[in-house]
Amino acid sequence: MNTDNSPAQRTPLNISVSFRRSYAREDVTGTLKNISLTGAFLTHGVELLRAGEKLHMSFSVAGRERDINAVVVWSNSFGAGIKFLPQNNRDVQIVDDLIYYVESKRSGTRDVLDLIFKKVA
């Protein structure tokens, strides 16, 4: 975990999520555009989220539904910066699994492209 105030390393991604504000009854859809172990950038089509609002988020990784809580740190017209609120080690593992899943897909694609380029060259 990052003990100083520098931002954690971000992994770019484009994954659909549904989220619900703590006081709302209906889920809203959005997209995580980058992620770290501590938080993410969330784009969405709803009015601005307010700093301090708590969110319950759901997303699917490798066919498995995952849930995690978060809080809005900042928000603008492009989206919101969120901080994950892990309740236990399982929640931390969910975020770590998502990062691993995205990076392994990306490196797998890169390996295939490298192989193709070597054969063409």
Please state the domain extents for the chain: 11-120
Task: Say if residue 106's pLDDT is above 80.
Answer: no
Beta strands in the chain (DSSP E): 11-21, 28-35, 39-44, 54-61, 64-76, 79-84
Q: What is the CATH architecture of 11-120?
A: Beta Barrel (2.40)
Q: Please give the pLDDT value at position 96.
A: 82
- Is pLDDT larger for residue 19 or for residue 117? 19
Q: Please give the pLDDT value at position 5.
A: 61
Q: What are phi and psi of 55, to 5 degrees?
A: -125, 145
- Number of Cβ within a 10 Å radius of residue 22: 10
- Is pLDDT larger for residue 15 or for residue 112? 15
Average pLDDT, the chain: 81
Query: What are 24-52's pLDDT values in tens digits?
Result: 888 999 999 998 888 999 999 878 899 99
